[in-house]
Amino acid sequence: MAGNKTKSISIASMPLTRRGCYIVAVSSMEQIIGAGLSTVIGIMLPMIQLVTQPQMPSALQGFIGATGLIGIAVGSMIIGKLSDRQGYLKWFRICPILIMVGALISYFLTDTPCLIAGLLIAGIGVGGGYSLDSAYISELLPEKWRQIMVGVAKASCSLGFIVVALLCWLILSKDPNPKIWNRLMLIIAASGLLTLLLRINWAESPRWLLSKGKTAMAQAALEKFYGPGVAIAPQPLLPQAKSNVGIAQMFHGENFKRVIFSGIPWACEGLGVYGFGVFLPVLVMALGIESSSVEGMPKIIDSVKVTTLVNFFILPGFIIGLLLMNRLNHVRLLSLGFIGSAVGLGILYAGYVFHMPDLVMIIGFIIFEITLNAGPHLITYIIPSRIYPVEDRGTGTGIAAMIGKVGAVTGVIIMPILLEAGGAKLVLIVSFFVMIAGAAISLIYGKALNLINNN
C-alpha cells in the first residue's frame, strides 16, 4: 500500500504547467479590464459631446476621464487592506461584481453624475483586483517563474487596450449612432461577468491561510488549484519587519533619493500610458490622422480604427520589455524607454507641424507605444520593491505607487485642458518634456543610488 502513495513536489520547485498559466490568466483579468475601461471612456467622451454636452468644459472631460483611475487608487488601497484581514477569495469575487455594477449604472443611468458614479465603482473593483493579482501569482507559481509571470500579468493590460478598442470599432461601424455611447459599457460589464464566472471554482490564498495558522486548509486550497501531489510547507510566522523611519523621514537622506527614483518616473510614465491611453481617439482627431472628411461619428469611428492600430503595438512593447528585463540593467531599460518615447513624440510633432503623410505620425505613435511599454510601463512597476531595504519596503513601495497614481490622474485631467489651450502641438511638446524628465531623473538618481552598473 505504501508504494501507491503519490510523491509530493514542492510548488516552489515544480515546472510551469497549464494550470499555472490558467492561474495567471484568471488573476490578470482586472489588468485587462482596467485598460479596457480607459479605452471605453476615451471613445465615449466625444460621442457624449455630440449627443448631450457639445460644450462640455475641458476640465469636466478630464475629470470624467480620470474617474476610473481615482476609483482604482481607492480600490487598491481599501480592498487591499480588507483582504489582508478577511481573506483574498471573498474580495477576489467581489471585485468583478463591483465592475459589473459600475458598468451597468453607467449603461442604464446616462446623466453625468451617474456616469461618474458608475465609473468610480467600476474603478474600485479594478483597483481591488490590482491589489490581489500579484499576490496570487507570486504564491501559486514556481519560484523560477514568479517574477516573469508578475510581469506577464502587467503586460496583459495590452489585451484590454487592443481588444476593447477593436470591439468598440466593430460596434460603432455597425451602428454609427452617438446615442449608443452607453452600450460600450456593456463590454466592461460582460468582462466583469466573465471574471466572476472564472473565479467561482477558485480557492482561498494558501499563504493567507498559513498566516492564520490554518495549515491543513492551506494544503487543501493548493490542491484545489493544482490537484494532489503538490505540497505546501508550513512556514514559521516571522515578526513583520518594522520600519525604522516614519513617512516624513522617508523624504530625507538616501530614502529620499529612492522616493524620487521610484516615484517620479512612475508619474511621468502615467502621463503617457493613461493621458494618451484615455484620450487617444481625441488626440488622433486633433492631429487629423483619421481619414474621414465628415465631422461627427464618421470622424470618431475613423479615430477608433487608428486607435486600435496604435494600441496593437503595446503588446510587442511589453514582450520586448519582458525579454530584456533579465538581460539589461533596469535603470538603462527605464531611461532608454523614456528616450525612445520622446523620439516617437518628436516624430509625431514633426509630422503634424510639417504636414507629412499620416504614415509618419502613425510611425511616431508606434515608436512611442513600443518604447514606453518596453521600458517605463513595465519597469516602474518592478523597481520599488527592489531598491528599498526590507524594513522600509512597504512604505517606500506605497509612496512610489501613490506618486505614480497622482501622475496618471494628472495626465488624464490636463490632456483635454492642453488640447483646448494649445491644440495637439502643446500636448506633444509637454509630453515630450515629461518623457525627457523621466529619462533624466532615472539616470541621475539611478547613478546616485549606484544602480546603473548592477541589476
pLDDT confidence of residue 81: 83
Spatial distance between the Cα atoms of 256 and 225, rounded to a whole number of angstroms? 42
Is residue 173 scored above 60 in pLDDT? yes
Is residue 229 scored above 90 in pLDDT? no
Cβ 90 vs Cβ 146: under 8 Å: no
Question: What CATH topology corresponds to 17-202?
Answer: Growth Hormone; Chain: A; (1.20.1250)
pLDDT tens-digit series, residues 294-315: 788 999 999 999 999 999 999 9
Instruction: Label each residue of 131-156 as H, E or C.
Output: HHHHHHHHHHCCHHHHHHHHHHHHHC
Q: In 3D, which of 93, 67, 92 has the Cα closest to residue 80?
A: 92
Phi, psi of 9 (to 5 degrees): -120, 140
Spatial distance between the Cα atoms of 293 and 296, rounded to a whole number of angstroms? 10
DSSP label at residue 203:
-
Is residue 242 scored above 60 in pLDDT? no
pLDDT tens-digit series, residues 321-335: 999 988 899 999 999
pLDDT confidence of residue 233: 53
Is residue 207 scored above 50 in pLDDT? yes
Spatial distance between the Cα atoms of 427 and 449, rounded to a whole number of angstroms? 32
Grid cell locating 147: 517574477
Mean pLDDT of 283-294: 84
Is residue 200 scored above 50 in pLDDT? yes
Which helix (H) or strand (E) covers residue 273, if one does?
none
Are 17-202 and 253-455 the same fold in CATH? yes
pLDDT tens-digit series, residues 6-37: 557 888 889 999 999 999 999 999 999 999 99
Could you tell me which CATH class the domain 253-455 is placed in?
mainly alpha
pLDDT confidence of residue 390: 63
Mean pLDDT computed over every residue of the chain: 90
Cβ 31 vs Cβ 160: under 8 Å: yes
Task: Read off the pLDDT band of 282 (50, 70, 90).
Answer: very high
Cβ contacts of residue 327 below 8 Å, gap of 6+?
none
Domain positions in the chain are 17-202, 253-455
Phi, psi of 168 (to 5 degrees): -60, -40
Cβ 421 vs Cβ 412: under 8 Å: no
